[in-house]
């Protein structure tokens, strides 16, 4: 049968300490080997919290599956900001290029409710509204209206 451990770790910087060590130690596997594998697989997400699933079978073999960081973490990385705005309706904290929103939507395919790139990008832009982040230099709600009007169809195909 085996065991499954699901944790959030800092991309590329997991350690044998919390939360991995206490979760994996009792399973009798090489914790350092698991940490090394996680860090190798999450290196591209440096500085972001990344969901990771470790499956351990009865022979003490393990498999590491890396999820995608939350949309907010991807937006913060792409916009180069530390955190979202405490008052997003009045204080803007960053700008996300439309290409970055498209990249994030493609990364999150499967985790989102959207079936098309266009609707995925609209989900990402919707997240920008609550973070106080403009998109393509415009307020997110303005950009959503422009997307609905077909202004960016060639880029969202």
- pLDDT tens figures, 48-68: 889 999 999 989 999 999 998
Mean pLDDT of the chain: 91
- The DSSP annotation for 28-78 comes to TS-HHHHHHHHHHHHGGGBTSEEEEEEEE-TTS-EEEEE-PPPHHHHHHHH
Mean pLDDT of 103-121: 85
CATH class of the 3-66 domain in this structure: alpha beta
Q: Note every long-range contact of 69-72, with CB atoms under 8 Å and residues 24 or more positions apart, other chains counting.
A: 69/11, 69/45, 71/104, 71/108, 71/123, 71/124, 71/127, 72/127, 72/131
| CATH 1.10.10.250 correct for 71-148 | yes
Peptide bond into 19 cis (omega under 30): yes
pLDDT score at 2: 83
Q: Do domains 3-66 and 71-148 have the same CATH topology?
A: no
Look at residue 139 and tell me whether its pLDDT is greater than 80: yes
- pLDDT tens figures, 18-27: 889 999 989 9
pTM: 0.76
Helix (H, G, I), strand (E, B) or coil at 154: coil
Q: Provide the residue ranges of all domains of the chain, joining segments of one domain with +.
A: 3-66, 71-148
pLDDT band of residue 1 (cuts 50, 70, 90) is low
- pLDDT tens figures, 79-111: 999 999 999 989 999 999 999 999 999 888 777
Lookup: tokens for 118: 């266009």
């Amino acid at each position: 049968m085996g065991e499954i451990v699901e944790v959030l770790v800092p991309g590329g910087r997991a350690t044998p300490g919390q939360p991995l060590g206490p979760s994996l130690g009792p399973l009798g596997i090489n914790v350092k080997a698991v940490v090394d594998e996680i860090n190798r697989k999450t290196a591209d997400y440096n500085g972001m919290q990344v969901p990771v699933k470790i499956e351990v079978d009865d022979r003490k073999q393990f498999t590491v599956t890396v999820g995608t960081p939350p949309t907010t973490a991807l937006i913060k990385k792409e916009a180069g900001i530390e955190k979202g705005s405490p008052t997003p309706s009045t204080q803007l904290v960053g700008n996300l290029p439309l290409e970055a929103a498209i990249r994030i939507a493609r990364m999150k395919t499967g985790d989102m409710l959207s079936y098309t790139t266009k609707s995925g990008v609209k989900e990402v832009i919707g997240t920008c509204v609550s973070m106080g982040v403009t998109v393509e230099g415009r307020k997110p709600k303005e950009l959503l209206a422009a997307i609905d009007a077909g202004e960016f169809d060639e880029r969202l195909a």
